[in-house]
Chains A and B, each alone.
Chain A
Amino acid sequence: MAKKTYDLLFKLLLIGDSGVGKTCILFRFSDDAFTSTFISTIGIDFKIKTVELRGKKIKLQIWDTAGQERFHTITTSYYRGAMGIMLVYDITNEKSFENIVKWLRNIDEHANEDVEKMILGNKCDMSDKRVVSKERGEAIAREHSIRFMETSAKANINIERAFCELAEAILDKTSGRESSENPERVVIDRGNSDKATSYSKCCA
C-alpha cells in the first residue's frame, strides 16, 4: 500500500557553482529565513516544502547539492530522477555565469530528458556589485529555451515564485499522463462526468 501524504511529489535539484547561494535559496524557500554566513555544502541536503497548486497539494522534495568542483562527478549522479532543476548563478560573479553552459551540458548528459529547467540569477539585491546584466541572463535562457528569473534569497525576491513556476511546469507535464498512468489518483471531480443514472435497474 502506497503511503500517500500528498497528491503529488516532485523532486527538484539545485545546482550551480559553489557560493552562488543555492543553500540560501532553499533555506529562504523552506524556512523563510536567511543567514549570511557561508557554509559550504559538503554533500547533498534536502528539504521538503508542500505547496498548493491548482487545488493539489504538491510536496516538493528539494535537493541542494555541493557546488565545489571536486564534487561535480559525484553530484551528477543525483540528476537522474530529478523532475526539475534550478540552475543558479551569482550576478556578481562572472565565472559562475559563464559556467552555466557547462552545467547545462551536465544536465543534458546526466538528467532525465524531460527534466524541467530554470536558470536563476541570484543575489539580485546586490546591484552595486552586479557584473552580469539581466539581459545576458535572459539571453542565455532564451537561447536554451529555459525559464529565467533573477532572485535574491537575502531580500526574498522571486524565491517562492521561482519554485512555484517550476513546479507548475512539471505539473503541466505530468497532469496529462497522470490519469492514464495512475487511475487511482484522486482527480478533482467537477460532477459533470457522472450523469449516469440507475435507469438500468428498472424492469429487470
Chain B
Amino acid sequence: MERGSNYPNGGDASAAAVPVKTTLSIVQERFKADETVHLIFEAYQIKGQEHIEGLLALVSSASGGTYAIISFSLLRNPLTASNDLKINKVFPINASFKLTTDSKAPKTEQFDLCTDDDRPTKYYYYSMRTDPAAVDFNEFCAKVNSCKKTMWDAELPSEAALNFRWLDDYREIGEVKHELKKRESEYIIYKDIIVYCATWNVNNKPCWDNKNTLRPWLASGKKAPDIYAIGLQELENTARAMLNGNQMQMFATQWVRKMLENLHDDMEYEELQSVRLSGIMLTIFVRKNLRQHIVRCRVNSVARGVFNTLGNKGGVAVSFQLNEASICFVNSHLAAHMGNVAERNDDYKAIDDYMRFEENGLQVRTINDHDHIFWLGDLNYRIQEPNGQQRPGPMSDAQTFELMLQYDQLRTEMSYERCFKGYTEGEIKFAPTYKYDVGTDTYDTGEKQRAPAYCDRVLWKGKLIEQLEYNGVMEIRESDHKPVYAIFRVKIKTRDDDKYRKVLAEVLKAVDKRENDSQPQITTDRLNIEFGVVRFNEPAIRDFNVSNDCPQNVDFEFKVKDSHNDICEKWLHVDPRGDSLMIDSARSIRVRALVDANSVTGLLKMICTAVDKCVLDILILHVRSGRDIFITVTGEYQPSCFGLSMETLCRTERPIGEYTLDEVKQLMLDVTPGYRVPMPREYFLLIDYLHNQRGQLFQSYDRRQPLSSQFNAVRDWLDSWSNDPFPGTPQTAAEALLLLLDLPEQALLEPFVDDLLASRSKVDAERYIDLLSDPKRNVFKHLCLFLCDGVERGDYDANNVATIFGRILLRSSKCNVTIDYHSRCNEFMQRFIRIESPDTLSGGNGHGGASLQT
C-alpha cells in the first residue's frame, strides 16, 4: 500500500524529497485555525449500486469547546487537496450522539452515526486501512466514545462555555457559503478607499483654543479620505478630571467637535463611533455617504497601567464591516519609560489577546479576525541610544533619522517577533515625535533631558493596503509630542450586487435541487387495495409491496389520522405499521379487513355519509422526511341484518341479502314511518326458533367474544329469509339474537333509556314504551313475551336474563350512567318478564307478535 511507488516517477530520487502531504494534513486544511482534526477514519456509504468513498474526521473546536464528526465524500481518491473533500454530513458529539454497531452482526463492518435531530446514517468500512494516516475501527470507536464520555457523561460544563456554533459553517448554510466563496471571483470587486490614521499624545492640553488649527495634522494629502481613525492619548489625566466622568466626557466631546472641524475640506464627514478609555480615545469619522455601507460596528477597550484597571494605559478599538471587508482600528497607549520594553510588549499582547468584539451575542471576534487592521497610538518605544551619540536637532535630515531608527526599540522588538507580529510600518522620514518643550520644536531641555524618540506610530496588518504618506507634524506645538498621521489606500472587498444576486440565485437553486433530489422516496406497487365483496364476520387479506429505490435508507410509517386516533378504521388491520427499508429493498404490507361486531356500526355509519360508499379507508403512508402517499382501500360491503336498526329492517320488502349497498344506504337514510312489517322478520324468525328450544340458552354475553363457527350460516339464513331449517344450534340462535339487539347504533329502548331507568313501576315505564317507534315497541314486547314464557317454563333464570337483556336494551351511549345502573337495568327488565299481570302482556302480544304468527 505504499502510495509513492504508484507515482509514474516513483523511481526518481528527487521526487522522494518532495514532502507528500498526509491525508490528515489535507483534511486539517479544510478547517479553521482553532479547529483540530484528531483522527480520520475511512468509511464508505452505499447508494444504489455505488460505493461512495468517504472519510470521517473527528474534529474539535477550541472556541466551541466541543467535538464533532464531519463526514466527507471524496471527489478524488487519493486526495490531493482539501478541495477534493465534500462535506456531506455533520454529527455534533452532543448528549444524544450515538455510534452504534449491529450487536446481532458485529462482524459486518458497518455502523450507524446518529444525533437526535436526525435519523441514523449508515457507514461501512474495510477491514484493511488503505491510508496509513487513518485509524482502525476499534481506535475510531474508542476515541469517539471517550470524547463523548468526557464531554457529556461527566457533570455538564456550563452551557455558555460549550457550543456547536462553529459547525454552522459546515452545515447546509455552510454549503451555500462555501459555494458562494468558491465563486467569489464572479461577483467580488475591489474598491479603493483612502484611510487616514492620525495619533497624538496631547499631554493634557484641552482644545478650547479654537484658533489653533489641526489641519496640518488632519487635512494633509491631496485626496479627501473616506475614513478617519484619530487616536488621542493623555486627553486629560489629572486626577481631578479622571474622577469626574462628566468632565472627561465634556473634554472628549469638545475634541471630537474640534477634530471634525479640521478634517479635509472637500468632503462632508460624520462621526461613526468614538471609544474612550480614560484619556485614550479613538474616533472614527466617515464620509457621509459611506455610512450606509458600514455594518456591525463594535467597540471595546482593554485597560492596563496601574493594577491593569485604571486605564491610564491600555487600548481602545473599533471594529466594523465595510462592504465585504472587516476593518479594525486600535489606539493604544503603552507603558512609558526607556527601560520598560518588556512592559510595552506585555501591554501590546494583553490588548491583542483580550480585545474582543461582540458577534451574535458573544464576545468572539479578535483583532486578528479582520481583513485590514490599523494600530496607532503612543506606543512609547524609545531610541535605545548608545552612549555618547549626538542628539539630532529637529531639522536633521533623513539620514540622521535612519541612523537613530537603527536603535528604535519597536523595530528591534518587531524583528524578534516579540510584539506586533505580522504588522508593517512605513518608512519613517520625520523627526522623533517626543519629547519637545511645549510651544517649541526644541527637544526636552527640562531637568530629565529625555532622549528623543519615535513614541507615536501607525502600523498596519492585512492585505491590499498601500501606505501613501507617513509623517509627523512639527508646526503643532501644544503638546510635548508631535502629532503623526499616515494615509493609506486600501482595496476594499466589495460585492457587485447584481452579479452577486445572480450567483446567489444559482447557488441556492443548486443547493435546493440537491435537497429536493435527495428526498427519501419509496414506491408502492399499488395505490388501491381492492377487497371486492366484504361480508360480515368474514376476514379478508390483501398484500402489497413498498420498495425503496432511492439512494438512501428510508423509514416509513402509516400516519395516525386525527379523526380516529389510529392509522386505519376499525374494520382494517395493517401490518406492519412502519419499517425501515434499506437501499434497493422492498417488503410487503398486509391489510386485513374484517367487519365484525366491533366495527359494523361504524362502517354502516360511514357508508351513510361517505361520498364513495366503496372506500373502506384511506391509509397515509408516510416516508420520514419525505412525501406522504395515500393508499385507498376499497371493497363493497355485503349488507346483512346485523348492525341495521329495527326501523331499517322493517322497511325491507325482500331479504336484506338481495339488496345492494346503495339500496341499503337509501333504507338507512329513510326516516319516514312507512314500515312494511310491524317487526323485523329476522327477529321474529330467531325468537320463533328459540321459543321451541329448551334449556338455559342465555348464560352470558360478551360482544368481544369470537362468534361460533355456525354463525355465518345463521347470518345467511337470516339475510335470505330462508325456509330451510335453522342451520345452527340453539346456542348460535341465542348468540345471533343478542348480537342483533346489541349492534344497531341505537339501543332498542332509546331514546327513553334514562326515563325508563328512572321509572318506578311497570305502568310508569309503559308510558315510554308506547312512545317507541313501532318496530322497536313490537320487538320489545315480543321479546318480553318470549322471555316471560321461558322463565315461566323454568328454562330461563329471570334474574339472569334480566341482567343480560337489560344491559343490551338499555345500553346507553351517554357517560352519566348512574352507579346503580346495572341493578336498575335488571330491575326494569324483571318487571317485564315476571308474570304479574297477564292482561297487560296479552295486550302487547295482540299488538305485535301475534299478528306475525298468522
Contacts and interface: CB of A to CB of B under 8 A. Distances in A.
Interface of A: 1, 3-6, 30-31, 42-52, 57, 66, 69-71, 73-74, 77, 184, 186, 188-191, 194-199, 201-204
Contacts of A195: 273
Nearest to B297: A191
A197 B311 CA distance: 14
Contact of B173 (A5, A30, A191, A203): A5
Given A5-B171, A50-B511, A70-B632, A197 B627 contact: no
Contacts of A186: 360
Interface residues on B, range: 35 or more
Nearest to A196: B299
A134 to B, nearest CB: 30
Contacts of A5: 171-173
A188 B294 CA distance: 12
Interface string B252-281: 000000000000000000000111111000
A158 B273 CA distance: 46
Interface string B345-363: 0000000000000001100
Contacts of B301: 198, 201
12 contacts: A1-B92, A1-B164, A4-B168, A5-B172, A44-B627, A47-B516, A70-B612, A189-B295, A190-B295, A194-B298, A199-B276, A203-B278
B708 interface: no
Interface stretch (B33-41, B137-145, B242-250, B374-382): B242-250
Contact of B94 (A1, A51, A189, A201): A1
Contacts of B316: 198
B615 interface: yes
Interface in B631-663: 632
Nearest to B320: A191
B561 interface: yes
B311 A202 contact: yes
A77 B311 CA distance: 65
Contact of A198 (B275, B361, B561, B629): B275
B650 to A, nearest CB: 33
B508 interface: yes
A42 B612 contact: no
Contacts of B309: 204
Given A70-B615, A191-B295, A201 B628 contact: no
Contacts of B629: 42-43
Given A42-B630, A52-B508, A70-B632, A201 B611 contact: no
A196 B248 CA distance: 16
B513 interface: yes
Interface in B167-208: 168, 171-173, 176
B527 interface: yes
Most buried by A among B303, B611, B618: B618
B248 A189 contact: no
B748 to A, nearest CB: 32
A1 B504 CA distance: 27
A12 to B, nearest CB: 14
A198 B92 contact: no
Nearest to B96: A1
A47 to B, nearest CB: 5
Contacts, number: 120
B618 A197 contact: no
Contacts of A184: 360-361
A204 B632 CA distance: 76
Given A186-B360, A198-B301, 13 more contacts: A30-B516, A42-B629, A42-B630, A50-B511, A52-B505, A71-B618, A74-B561, A194-B297, A197-B275, A197-B276, A201-B303, A202-B278, A203-B311
B117 A3 contact: yes
Nearest to B505: A52
A197 B295 contact: no
B289 interface: no
B140 to A, nearest CB: 24
B296 interface: yes
B688 interface: no
B219 interface: no
Contact of A189 (B242, B296, B561, B562): B296
A43 B276 contact: no
A59 B788 CA distance: 75
B171 A42 contact: no
B310 interface: yes
A199 to B, nearest CB: 6
B620 interface: yes
A47 B512 CA distance: 9
A203 B278 CA distance: 7
Nearest to B168: A4
B512 A45 contact: no
B110 interface: no
A71 B278 contact: no
Contacts of B303: 201, 204
B823 interface: no
Contact of B504 (A52, A73, A196): A52
Nearest to A49: B512
A151 to B, nearest CB: 20
Contacts of A203: 242-243, 245, 278, 310-311
B515 interface: yes
Interface string B802-841: 0000000000000000000000000000000000000000
B276 A202 contact: yes
A30 B316 CA distance: 50
Nearest to B242: A203
Contact of B508 (A50, A189, A197): A50
A184 to B, nearest CB: 7
Contacts of B310: 203-204
Contacts of A194: 297-299
Contacts of B511: 50
A202 B627 contact: no
B384 interface: no
Contacts of B731: none
B505 to A, nearest CB: 8
Contacts of A30: 512, 516
B299 A197 contact: yes
Contacts of B242: 202-203
B565 interface: no
Contacts of B547: none
Contact of B618 (A4, A70, A198, A202): A70
Nearest to A198: B301
A58 to B, nearest CB: 10
B210 interface: no
